[in-house]
Chain A
């Protein structure tokens, strides 16, 4: 009885905060746009039977006809993928350095990684506008050094979006990798060297495989939110930056076409389910290997 209650709590939570909203969004995606409040038809006011009979997949068909949408999906996947790779390239050495740092320093270093979360995400992204703009700190600094003559155009390009994503999601990459490397027994590296490995070879054959779960976890934690990212591309990206989060926002608030926006959201969710399932499986394997 008590167990049943305990198990019911997370299921009720999921039902109330995920499944019901999803059902609502899915229903809207099957409706037609209308000049009304809410801006779609049919609604439950028309009666359940009448409402269900009027639903159709028109909006999903529309998404396949206009190439804006699939280009936005592809471009989002591309940006999410490359920014994940870049975050890994930046985050792995940082995590490695943290794990190899003297024991006494580690809490401080860990604190420094988490510290940015204490400031609003929005403010931090705006700060990058100040750094990357034409008259921003970066350009002023480079001009002062004499490296460049004319300010670089970074803001409102895809480069700025990459910088923003890598910066924002770096802690999500560092923390799982750090935790994997921290657990790594130093004598394994010594054993590899003892058996004839050079330092670099030991790193490839022992350190990397043993931090694999951390790498996978970190990559998913960056890739999944980056795919649907809206704030970073809209603040740092330019007109050329095509991301599905931005498209979604515009459909909702600029076009007020809730049904199409909902269809976009439903498809995004299905795309995200694939990496989520893979991530889940990785976590499960890790727990199995540890027991």
Chain B
């Protein structure tokens, strides 16, 4: 049974929960948000990602009601929320510092918002217990915030902001104060809670890994503008600009000039040769067949040659001339209409291979290992190609490090397929 993929942003009939329409926010001369238009849908886990000072926190504070846009409209559920004060919005926020009330117990902290909207003691108690259970804090209900650990405080803050069942929950760097291990566990917990409650979450973070892990969509921001909004795989695999490619993960950007590939067909292999794999007989089986069975069964189908001679194929896409006297870079998914324009080829290090012998690949270049960053599970090799271009290639450390055959100053071949690179024009 195939589950329906959650992608309301692809559905033209879906109305967004939040709409930013040409929103600008200035503080004096400084423009924090610059003519921003953005839609966020109900039940989304939406991440605002960017370096500090990119305006992501301002965007969130406008949603919470602590800032008002200088120009433009923010709609929540189809209504302009410009005039609605923070205490009247169906939006709750989990603060970066958690902002737990130190004079109140965990229980009273969670009940704080509920007490403002109702005086029915039973309903408050029931809801608080529900929240305590959701965040596994039952044991700590009577404690004061300074008597519990950082991770527990984080969960109290989450429970408190969820208690009023807001339409929208804002999380401002919710895991920033936790250590790496706890953060990872909490990320999954957050996703779990988001799924259980069905609340729309907007999370602000500068940690791209966190954004990629939790979010259904990520908006990468820079200097008050949204650079790209896409699902985590799209943002990683298909960044729309050099900024996004560089901000998310590791990347090598190579400048060059595009050339429609009909002009530059080169010896290359089609990227994915689909061959039906048939079991092949071993030596004994072969002898048996040839000597005894062939008169009965007839001639055997020859095994496909694994190293078939490279075929002359005019590949799709473009070739990029990037350095004098070097073979062009082939990007089979590049748009031939880019012919003649200067472009950047973005290469993720893990999509590159590195070997001592010349590999059989569309793109293969010789270079020298300058640096090796050992990360435990992976090693990143910094290779200098002829002409001085540095390129990063990542290899899983499947062997023990003592048996590593490539080391500093070695001459190696760096190669990648025609689809590995992303062609960027900005």
**A binding-site residues for B, Cβ under 8 Å:** 185, 187-188, 190-198, 201, 205-206, 209-210, 212, 289
Contact = CB atoms under 8 A, between A and B. Distances in A.
A19 to B, nearest CB: 38
B92 interface: yes
B338 interface: no
B87 interface: yes
Given A196-B88, A196-B164, 11 more contacts: A185-B97, A187-B97, A190-B66, A192-B101, A194-B92, A195-B92, A196-B87, A196-B117, A197-B87, A206-B101, A210-B103
Given A193-B86, A195-B112, A187 B99 contact: yes
Contacts of A194: 64-65, 86-87, 91-93, 161
Contacts of B236: none
Contacts, number: 60
A191 B146 contact: no
Contact of B103 (A191, A193, A195, A209): A209
B99 A190 contact: yes
Contacts of B87: 193-198
A212 B102 CA distance: 12
Taking chain A's interface residues, is the majority helix, strand, or loop, or is none over half, making it mixed? helix
Interface of B: 64-66, 85-88, 91-93, 95-97, 99, 101-103, 112-113, 116-117, 146, 160-161, 164
A181 to B, nearest CB: 14
Given A191-B93, A289-B146, A196 B113 contact: yes
A54 B101 CA distance: 62
Contact of A190 (B91, B95, B164): B95
A188 B97 CA distance: 9
Contact of A188 (B86, B99, B117): B99
A209 B102 CA distance: 10
B379 to A, nearest CB: 43
Contacts of B97: 185, 187
A210 B144 CA distance: 14
B112 A192 contact: yes
Contacts of A212: 103
A193 B92 CA distance: 10
Contacts of B99: 185, 187-188, 190-191
A138 B102 CA distance: 46
Contacts of A195: 87, 92, 112-113, 116, 160-161, 164
Contacts of A197: 87, 116
Q: Which of B66, B96, B116 has the most CB of A within 10 A?
A: B116
A191 B95 contact: yes
Contacts of A192: 101, 112
B64 A210 contact: no
A190 B96 CA distance: 12
A210 B146 CA distance: 14
Nearest to B96: A187
Given A195-B92, A196-B113, A210 B86 contact: no
Nearest to A213: B103
A108 B231 CA distance: 52
Nearest to A196: B116
5 residue pairs, one from A and one from B, having the closest CB atoms: A196-B116, A195-B113, A191-B99, A187-B99, A193-B86
B204 to A, nearest CB: 14
Contacts of B102: 210, 289
A58 B56 CA distance: 79
B62 to A, nearest CB: 13
A201 B88 CA distance: 13
12 contacts: A185-B99, A190-B93, A190-B95, A193-B85, A194-B65, A195-B164, A197-B116, A201-B116, A206-B101, A210-B103, A289-B102, A289-B146
